[in-house]
Amino acid sequence: MNRQLTPRRLALAASVLSALWLAGCGSPGAVSGQLSSASPSSASGRVPRASNAATARDYRRDAARHIYEINRSRIYGGQLPPMLYAVGTLQVNLDAGGKVVSMHWLRAPQHAPEVIAEIERAVLQAAPFPAATRLGAVTWTDTWLWDKSGRFQLDTLTEGQQQGD
């Protein structure tokens, strides 16, 4: 069997490597586990205050506050209504610097794909998250409580929900 590197074989290898490289690029801002094609609308350039959380559970509050700060006008003030439009639970894997590495939906609101896209966009837009100085890379998990108005609360910081009749 002849295994010499001929110009033809080199060209074929270069083509295959180029195709693989392009396939791995994906859309700008997309991360592993994303269900939508959402991407951040622009780079903010902000550097959030570092988190001194000792556990992933403690880090939830810092990440939730960071989301609230970035999305002030979209936070539902007060108790949520008894019937929510959508509820989704998302795990976000962050590197030591607070960059979003991947997302994993534990409960995706499949009936509301626009909410999936908005949550993913909000997460990507908020990056970088506070660096977890005591933890390094961290997984942040939170439940998004979505009102039909397009405003939301995170379970970590929720003000509760009104009782239904």
pLDDT of residue 48: 85
pLDDT at 119 over 90: yes
Phi, psi dihedrals of residue 58, rounded to the nearest 5°:
-65, -35
Give DSSP secondary structure letters for 50-118: PB--SSHHHHHHHHHHHHHHHTGGGBPPSSBPSS-SEEEEEEEEE-TTS-EEEEEEEE--TT-HHHHHH
pLDDT at 101 over 60: yes
Segment 2-59, tens digit of pLDDT = 566 666 655 555 454 444 333 344 445 679 999 999 887 665 667 888 999 999 999 9
Distances (CA, A) of 117 to 10, 34, 68, 98, 109: 42, 9, 17, 21, 10
pLDDT at 67 over 70: yes
pLDDT of residue 44: 60
The number of beta carbons lying within 10 Å of the beta carbon of residue 120 is: 28
Structure tokens at 102: 């991947």
Tell me if 118 sits within 8 A of 39, measured CB to CB: no
Tell me if 157 sits within 8 A of 68, measured CB to CB: yes
Higher pLDDT, 95 or 42: 95
Segment 127-149, tens digit of pLDDT = 999 999 999 999 999 999 999 99
pLDDT of residue 83: 96
